[in-house]
Structure 1
Amino acid sequence: MKEQEEQKRMEYLKGIVHSLPEGPGIYQYRNQEGSIIYVGKAKNLKRRVSSYFNKYQQSAKTRMLVSKIQDIRYIVVNTEEDALLLENNLIKKYKPRYNVLLKDDKTYPSLCVTNEYFPRIIKTRKRTNKNCTYFGPYSQPQYMYTAMNLIKKLYPLRTCNLALTPENIEKGKFKECLEYHIGNCKAPCTGKQSHEDYIKNIEEIKEILKGNTQVVSNILKDEMFRLSEELKFEDAQFMKDRYDLLENYRSKSEVVNSDIHNVDVFSIEMSEKSAYINYLHIVKGSINQAFTFEYKIRMNETKEELLQLGIVEMRERYKSTSKEIIVPFELDMEMDGMNFTIPQRGEKKHLLDLSIMNVKQYKLDRLKQADKLNPEQKKVRILTEIKEQLHMDKMPAHIECFDNSNIQGSDPVAACVVFKMGKPSKKDYRKYNIKTVVGPDDYASMKEVVFRRYHRLMEEQQPLPDLIITDGGKGQMEVVREVIENQLHLNILIAGLAKDNHHRTNELLYGFPPQIIGIKQDTPLFHLLVNIQDEVHRFAITFHREKRSKRQIASVLDKIEGIGEKRKNALLKVFKSVTRIKKANEEEVAKVVGPAVAKKVLESLNNPLI
């Protein structure tokens, strides 16, 4: 019965697809309850929608979406730009389950110019009053605070919550407060500042917040010259101070030539589950708006598709009228009267680089925040990065690393450390005494140890690692490969850590012939690999020192007459070292081995020749 229902459903949907027009528009997928679960746009509706039902092109997420579709609705529009705008509006209205989700930006502050007789400039996180004028939101609040500090120095505005209506002021309901007496307000509450003068200041503030600082600078300059001609030198000096303050702000905020005016800049960075898009609006060479936001990826959308959504969203939100949009790569997107630029050099390239720098920093900050909340997620992300860099089929949850240690061939040992989910699994560490190799032959030692390790794991049917790392270059990797592939016939990826001329780890080698992957320092991936390398060094060297120390202790005590294995172990168990035995008195040693042997032990150990 279910098969018949499924067949009937697919026939119904394919019938709709077959009759779709071949023009621009948007399409809606609806589930059994009639709810919209996905909204998309298309240059060619028929071609785009039919691609969802092509089994050869379906990802797992697409198959899941298609399995939920019970009906298809569509709206035909005149242009691709209309389709983009309509898609954006419908996604925001219905919030379909399978569309990318724009993360809520309510936490970002905006500046609000209130709709009052004497307006105030306030910081807010809500845009509830349609009659007020809003600037922002500011994803980087330092821009907002810089603008607020400038405004405070240029214009003494009221900060009180009093109802300054003409009637209340005329009745004399208010008195000057401390802000008036320290020069931060001109007391419009008592009529000391006229409504006309106050509103003139508010209009200039709006121009500054829009980025039109040149307009306000010209006003201040003209006013300064007018007052000077009228011989009002104190007032002219006050106006000059304001003019200099604004010019100083302009010189710091201007990032390119002021001829570059009314331009939008966009860039994008991706992670496994999110896309981060930065938007800059440039007015007269200065950054007027700067905002970075995040999309939660739902359906394996491409960079191009997500950037298109971001461009439409930001331009609508900020009411941008820019005719030029700077982007990092070519987009299959047309907007009436718009010119898309991909700069290769010059000041526009500088703007694009600035946008890219901002979006990368935002991505890094978001990932750091996520790592603090969920440390395990950080490990998964690093291991996923290794998987992608080494083109592995699965994440290397189980990593093993080997190292040899000897001094000119004496006391040769080797060590194996195990990392599971990016953390050391010390109970799985193993030490090896080299048995078949004579002399300082690192390659032969590595070959012996790797064979012993994995031959035993196979015999005991223990889990094998996803990745083997050698603390060496191509030679060590080849030796391990010979054992793993030729002798044991296993399929385990092998990588090697290589050092630069200063003996610092800087490359990861993988594959045969080995390919080089440069490792950026101060990245989580670099720290994990160095941690593995340091741990195997520490473990191997500690084991080598222990073995060498035991051999040296044994050789001294073995030379003493009357000391056999049993008495030697008893002495070491009590005194821990030969040095402590030397420092002990005869009675203390006699308690362990008897008076006669104790005398011989102390005489032998304190003999200058020993």
Structure 2
Amino acid sequence: MSAVESNVPFDAKAFLARVTQRPGVYQMYDAKGDILYVGKAKNLKARLASYFRASGLAVKTEALVKRIARVEVTITGSETEALLLEQNLIKKQRPPYNILLRDDKSYPYIFVSTQHPYPALLYHRGSRRKKGRYFGPFPSGGAVRESLNILQKVFRIRQCEDSFFSNRSRPCLQHQIERCSAPCVGLVSPERYAEDTRHAMMFLEGKNQSIADELAKQMEKAASALDFETAALLRDQIISLQKVQEEQRISGEGGDADILAVRIKAGSACIHQLFVKGGRVVGSKAHYPKLSLETDDRALLALFVGQYYLGDESHPLPPELILSDEPEDADLLADALSRQRGRSVSLRTRVRGQRKAWLDLAISNADHQINASIASRKSIERRYVELQQFLQLENLPTRLECFDISHSSGEATVASCVVFDAQGPKKSDYRRFNIEEITAGDDYAAMHAALSRRYTRLKKGGAPLPDLLVIDGGKGQVKQAEQVLAALQIDSVRVLGVAKGPTRKAGMELLILDGAELALPPESGALHLLQHIRDEAHRFAITGHRARRGKARGRSRLEEIPGVGAKRRQALLKHFGGLQEIERAGVEEIAKVSTISRSMAEEIYAFLHQD
């Protein structure tokens, strides 16, 4: 079904009157006939009607709707079918208003030439036409080579090409360094080599414990038969396998899984992906999808998982996806993924043990990478240029200062001042102000006091003033800043307030400039810069407030951790010697304390590092 011709204004009312309520996919086009957006819906009529309501649309959605000249819908038999069709259309048409994942690289595999009397383990990238077994895909060539290196050490399977193998008259260097059993010159029986090959493939399938059990039984059998040479070889294999397991920290949990952690910050997004094969983390990859429409962590995860796995054989589905957040329509997504795989695929967010360690690692990487992306020189320069254009400044601003206030019902009030220069945050210039002698909870008075102390000191000492003073707050806080600057006769500093909009969502902030309320589009680099400095001021104020509050109450931070009583505090302090050493310790080290379980160690670590 389509709307009226593109040269006639789009009649949303007439279009909606004849749209079905069945599940399906809709495609939006502009007046030139170019695709704008592809979406799915359980109820097409209800979903499409949400685009054409009178108010309440996000800024980017409004921009999309203004460009619509034609809408086509395709009815499907179920919501799952709609999801599959949506992902296929997005990959094929690449609409500008959809979040697009660009991942066109081919992934490497480990190939086992099982048709050969003495199979080889080989690195493979490209089409899988040769007869044999393929294991993978692996996230990088390095991950394949690491696995091949392990297999050489433990099982001594050849990794040479057949042409090299068939022309040997004596063992090569790989045999001399105990990385190959030299089947090329008959130094290993076909039966023994076949057994080693089978164990190598079991290793690639994650069946490490089964291999160890089999090798132990074979070693006992060989020793009983007085075949001590074979028993010694099997013993060395068992030891090598145990070392590999210890190095990889498998902790008894095998299997295959992909771990996905998402972070959205200051208009940018990062999804960090860990690949687990046979209980080992074999690699990782960071994705930076472009955010075209307003979205949150759950929606972005759903879109990413759909685009990455559905209809793409180069990304085989593991039996388990471990996610930092529950994606939208999780049951629907799991059903579609299971249908494609032919077996069950589970989506999990609540995990324990080693799986939680993997998820924590992915989250930590996503946090680091999104911060690194925001802090990149190219990104910062672009945002400063957009801020200059927004403020209509003659010169590019090179120094920004932002203030925020933090307290608990008026207790232990702390003001923060953070400074950004052309390279981003300049932490050496950060300052905190303990606010005294004001009415408890009076944020205006606290802001006035902090600004007075800061700019009196700067003016008196002849220190550089900022090009822009950013205030985390609305018109009242901005007025305090203007009064302080006027009293100090500072007229070279512009004041900008950043207030939460009516929805209190990131990207919908109201900016207070020269008494007027303004808004920037959510994709604006200038807005992202202001969000970044505002969030940094908020973080710095909260950490200072908590430290001051804890000191005023005469309590250790350990006393504030739920579940940590006097005996556990005593055991922690006895083991580490002090709070600073506890804060430096990782989860594994904390868990070594006799009274602290692994789960409690994770809670302690999370509490001490929550800022």
TM-score (normalised: structure 2): 0.56
Q: Structure 1 residue aligned with 2:325, among 325, 328, 340?
A: 328
Pick closer, same or farther for the CA change 1:194–1:509 going to 2, 3 Å.
closer
C-alpha distance in 2, partners of 1:215/1:88? 39
Do structure 1's residue 356 and structure 2's residue 363 form an aligned pair? yes
Q: Does 2:298 align with 1:304?
A: yes
Paired with 1:333 and 1:394, the residues of 2 have a C-alpha distance of 46
Contact persistence 2:101–2:307 (CA under 8 A):
no
State the Cα deviation string for residues 106-165 of structure 1 (Å, max 9, x = none).
Answer: 2865544467635543445x43335562413325x6654432221110233333333489
> What's the CA shift string for 1:220-271, capped at 9, x where partnerless?
223222222222112111111111111222233245553x866654311225
1:142-181 equivalent positions in 2, closer than 5 A: 143-163=143-163, 175-176=169-170, 178-179=172-173
Q: Secondary structure at the match of 1:29?
A: strand
Query: Identity of counterpart residues, as a percentage?
Result: 24
Distance 1:35 1:65 in 2: 13
1:15-54 residue pairs with structure 2 within 5 A?
15-31=14-30, 36-54=35-53
1:84 matched residue in structure 2: 83
Measured in 2, the distance between the counterparts of 1:236 and 1:80 equals: 59
Counterpart selection for 2:484 from 482, 485, 497:
482
Cα distance in structure 1, aligned partners of 2:540 and 2:391? 21
In structure 2, how many angstroms separate the alpha carbons of the residues matched to 1:297 and 1:89? 19
194, 200, 205: which is aligned to 1:210? 205
Secondary structure of the corresponding residue to residue 95 of structure 2: coil
| Aligned partner (choices 506, 512, 518) of residue 540 of structure 2 | 518
Equivalent residue for 1:10?
10
Q: Residue 103 of structure 1 corresponds to which residue in structure 2?
A: 102
Supply the distance in 2 between the matched residues of 1:398 and 1:137 (Cα, whole angstroms). Answer: 44
Given the superposition, is the C-alpha separation of residues 481 and 450 from structure 1 closer, same or farther in structure 2, using an over 3 Å criterion? farther
Q: CA deviation at 1:509?
A: 11
Name the stretch that deviates more: 14-23 or 279-288. 279-288
Task: Give the deviation of 1:308 after TM superposition.
Answer: 1.0
Distance 1:285 1:73, change over 3 A: same
Indicate if the aligned counterparts of 2:36 and 2:97 stay in contact, CA closer than 8 A.
yes
1:135: which partner in 2? 136
Query: What aligned pairs does 1:522-601 form with structure 2 within 5 A after superposition?
Result: none
Task: Report the secondary structure of 1:242's partner residue.
Answer: helix
Distance 1:331 1:219 in 2: 44
Counterpart in the other structure of 2:350:
343
Residues 274 and 296 of structure 1 are in contact (CA less than 8 Å); yes or no, is this contact kept in structure 2? Answer: yes
Name the CA distance, whole Å, in 1 between partners of 2:534 and 2:261.
Answer: 32
SS in 2 for 1:10: coil
- Which residue of 285, 289, 295 corresponds with 2:289? 295
Matches within 5 A, 1:447-462: none
- Alignment check: 8 A CA contact 1:262 1:282 kept: yes
Contact preservation (8 Å) 2:99, 2:303: no
Q: 1:233 to 1:193 in 2, by over 3 A?
A: closer
Shift of 1:272: 4.9
CA separation of 1:114 and 1:227: change in aligned 2, threshold 3 A? same
Partner of 1:492: helix, strand, or coil? strand
Q: In structure 2, how many angstroms separate the alpha carbons of the residues matched to 1:85 and 1:207?
A: 33
Asked whether the 8 Å contact 2:260–2:321 carries over to 1, the reply is no
Q: Aligned partners of 2:83, 2:297: CA distance in 1, in Å?
A: 16
For 2:162 and 2:202, locate their aligned partners in 1 and report how far apart those are by CA, in whole Å. Answer: 26
* 1:358 alignment partner, SS class: helix
Residue 77 (structure 1) shift:
3.5
Would the aligned equivalents of 2:257 and 2:276 in 1 still touch at CA under 8 Å? yes
**Aligned 8 A contact 2:259 2:274 in 1:** yes
Match of 2:316 among 295, 298, 319: 319
CA distance in 2 between partners of 1:492 and 1:223 (Å): 78
User: Matches of 1:520 and 1:106 in 2, distance apart?
Assistant: 43
Report SS of the residue matched to 1:56. coil
TM-score, normalised to structure 1, is 0.56
Q: Distance in 2 between matches of 1:224 and 1:492?
A: 78
SS state at 1:28 partner? strand
180, 183, 186: which one aligns with 1:185:
180
Counterpart of 1:270 in structure 2 is 264
Residue 93 of structure 1 and its aligned partner are, at CA, apart by: 3.2
RMSD across aligned positions (CA) = 5.2
Listed one character per residue, the Cα deviations across residues 64-86 of structure 1 (whole Å, up to 9, x for unaligned) are 54455444333333444443333
The secondary structure found in structure 1 opposite 2:289 is: strand
Match of 2:379 in 1: 377
Q: Distance in 2 between matches of 1:146 and 1:449?
A: 56
Structure with bigger gyration radius: 1
Q: Paired residue for 1:492, among 486, 491, 495?
A: 495
CA distance in 2, matches of 1:192, 1:509: 68
- 1:294 Cα deviation after fit: 3.3
2:320 touches 2:348 (CA, 8 Å); kept in 1?
Answer: no
* Separation in structure 1 between the aligned mates of residue 62 and residue 41 of structure 2, nearest angstrom: 20
- Structure 1 residue ranges without an equivalent (≥5): 403-417, 425-441, 454-463, 470-474, 496-507, 522-610
Distance 1:111 1:192 in 2: 25
Matched, 1:248 2:260: no
What is the alpha-carbon distance in structure 2 between the residues aligned to residue 107 and residue 271 of structure 1?
30
1:300 maps to a residue whose letter is E
Aligned 8 A contact 1:399 1:467 in 2:
no
C-alpha change, 1:324 and 1:356, in structure 2 (3 Å) is: closer
Secondary structure of 1:101's aligned partner: coil
Deviation readout 1:348-385 (Å, 9 max, x if unpaired): 544432221233344456667xx3xxx3423456899x
Deviations 1:282-318 (A, max 9, x none): 6776546754433233333332222012333555555
Residue type of the alignment partner of 1:352: L
For the residues of structure 2 that align with 1:326 and 1:248, how far apart are their CA atoms? 30
> Could you tell me how far apart the structure 2 residues matched to 1:109 and 1:31 are?
40
Secondary structure of residue in 2 paired with 1:296: coil
Inter-CA distance 285–189: structure 2 relative to 1 (3 Å threshold): closer
Structure 1 pair 115/98, CA: closer, same or farther in 2 (3 Å)?
Answer: farther
Which whole-Å CA distance do the structure 1 matches of 2:111 and 2:211 have between them?
A: 19
2:469 aligned partner, one-letter code: L
CA contact (8 A) 2:262 2:301 kept: yes
Q: SS where residue 105 of structure 2 aligns?
A: coil
Whether the 8 Å contact between 1:208 and 1:216 is mirrored in structure 2 is: yes
- Paired residue secondary structure (1:237): helix
